[in-house]
Amino acid sequence: MTRFAAPIAEQIWDMKYRLRAADGAPADATVEDSWRRVARDLASVEADPAAWEERFYAALSDFRFLPAGRILSGAGTGRSVTLFNCFVMGTIPDTIEGIFQSLKEAALTMQQGGGIGYDFSTIRPRGAEVKGVAADASGPLSFMDVWDAMCRTIMSAGSRRGAMMATMRCDHPDIEDFIAAKQDSARLRMFNLSVLVTDGFMAAVRADQDWPLVFDGQTYRTVRARALWDAIMRATYDYAEPGVIFIDRINAMNNLGYAETIAATNPCGEQPLPPYGACLLGSVNLARLVDDPFGPQARLDEGALDDLVATAIRMMDNVVDASRFPLPRQAEEARLKRRIGLGVTGLADALMMIGLRYGAPEAADMTRRWMRRIARAAYLASVGLAREKGPFPLFDAGAYLGSGFMRRMDEDVRAAVREHGIRNALLTSVAPTGTISLYAGNVSSGIEPVFAHAYTRKVLQKDGTRIEEEVVDYAVSLWRERMGDAPLPAWFVDAQTLDPLDHVAMQAAAQEWVDSSISKTINCPEDISFEAFKDVYLAAWDQGCKGCTTYRPNEVTGSVLSVAPAAPAPRAPLPCLDQPMDRPAALDGATYKLRFPGSEHAIYITLNDIDEGGRRRPFEVFINSKNMEHYAWTVALTRMISAVFRRGGDVSFVVEELKAVFDPRGGAWMEGRYVPSILAAIGGVIERHMVAIGFLAAEGAGLKSDPTALPAAAEPAPEPAPGPACPACGMPGMRMVEGCLTCPSCGHSRCG
């Protein structure tokens, strides 16, 4: 018997969380061994390790508490790795020396895989005077390009890459350039971007007032606030970036407002952090805590939730002591404040199990109730730890109780904090849980709705073939198990059918009782009007959210759902020859120039065709480049592909295989789409040539088909669009989940 609810769950564990020896041999024979390893390591700092190891193991078992991936993969391994997920780096000085010292710190942090955030508002704007050198400043965007190159270099060296977040204040003189930066598809690909929006700016937008752009006390120019807001909204509408962070609200609600000022977040936005701030993450799996799912007594076991939260808080507090840190200042920041981020996953599944429709008022009320319960249990558990082990070093009872989130906390919890102190300055956060949600049986991710009730993924086998495998949402799978073929109830909604304002209502309900922030994507239909789109952000502001991230499918961002075109009419099978065809003396063809981003020299691809009964088909290919590093593989491709073409048959599989090749160093954006490698780009050129000569009906047509016959025409049916290819497994279909491109096939996330 296996503990895993689906094959993909076991594959995720095997690939990402299973401990292996240096030679690749598994050190964790089962997932129970992984749980035991983590439980033992986190209990090692306790006075009675054996007793706490058993309690920690019980919390991990059955996927009830899900520590973040770095804890699952790193705890108890003896490796010099950080168990923290999120970092915000130090304030960038406005000097060349300080900027490049900050770049060095970023590289060291990224080398260990941490996702990092930076506020670039502290760098003087483009064109500002640089005293003493008779020069003008190049501006923060130019230095962001340097950070971007560093991230790509770290990744190309084989290190795990964490994502980067760049923020800029809405009153910085270069804010308009920042807003438009990622409209260049080759620029800042390693960054997520967010604008720091202040209360004053939102008031000016509402009143349609002037807005000064200021640096170091000097007003550089004035713009209309509403025009600047519309520029942010238009960029997000068309390009899905930048996001919006309501920075004044974050600082006003911060329990540590008396000890720090926040100006940036981690890459997915759920952790607003001060300079050198660090936070670790974990999630309670609400889907595993529902009694009598779909039955008349369906309910969340709130007593079990309280107990699980208390254990999880203790485990996460121990991580602060067990973890290593890339930089000493990060370790000191974590020790002084002991910030942790306990969140949830499986919320949408749990709501479906008790008969509530995600986004409905009743579901928002229930979410608010559950999140309040979690907050109370977390704070009381941390008070208990303070009685036992002492409060966090910067604790000041009067200042703490008068700050931020604590002002709305229940009076009995405030009284306990006043009397005993509290171990952790902040305790709750809702992080992206895409990978650990798959590992836990494909439960719904974080507080997101179910993305799809089921989808098909192609799994690469050891022999190089691929098999199709259905991946079913956890609650849907449980419904099938208990209700057989009964149709899904009306409350089984998914992300594509929800109104965007339903998303906002759920985010706002959860945020009310989360002391940090929330990573969430608000899915918008492609045909939403620009005015309605802007209303989503205003609703998020009005309802108390700390930030807002949307995703509207379009030609730039990629479609979420598409309608498959009718297949071409049947035609005669294409013969495959035992012997290659003879080459005529002259052939018609075309030469294409391909310049892959980051490559010094272009590649020239010549495709020559042969006429077979009035129909052109590719006969040979020549691939050339001045870059001698490419020589061996371009010659090999030329010979192998030409040999295949000369054998005849349906050679469209060549395109399929090339387009599936991914480069572990990362691909590139070309003409508004993500191309996972230079070989995939070559496959795209060959495919477009096949379309141009009539060998393929359209891009993607005929691929993954029976090589001996084409399918008969069929009625159009909705199916998932390919989307960007995954840089980890090469499969198409990456989608935006919790503000991060995520692969449904292997769980890889661009946010690390």
| CA separation for the pair 528, 512 (Å, rounded) | 28
Q: Which residues of 664-696 are buried (b: 16+ CB within 10 A; e: fewer)?
A: eebbbbbeebbbbbbbbbbbbbbbebbbebebb
Q: Which two tokens stand for residue 347?
A: 């919320």
Virtual CA dihedral for 192, 238, 457, 74, nearest 10 degrees?
A: 10
Of 170, 268, 729, 740, catalytic = 268
- What's the angle, vertex CA 129, arms to CA 124 and CA 131, rounded to 5? 105
748 — phi, psi (to 5°)?
-60, 140
Of 105, 241, 270, 687, catalytic = 270
* DSSP string for 426-449: --B-B---HHHHHHTTSPPPTTPP
| CA separation for the pair 435, 98 (Å, rounded) | 36
Q: Which two tokens stand for residue 634?
A: 């371009």
CB atoms within 10 A of CB 107: 17
Three-class SS state of 464: coil
Three-class SS state of 98: helix
Quick one: CA dihedral 309, 310, 311, 312, positive or negative?
positive
| CA separation for the pair 557, 734 (Å, rounded) | 11
- Residue 746 known to be catalytic: no
CA 630 to chain centre: 33
247 sits in which H/E element: helix 247-252
- Residue 719 known to be catalytic: no
CB atoms within 10 A of CB 708: 11
Of 266, 285, 318, 608, catalytic = 266
92 — phi, psi (to 5°)?
-80, 120
| CA separation for the pair 731, 746 (Å, rounded) | 9
- Residue 268 known to be catalytic: yes
**Catalytic (active-site) positions:** 266, 268, 270
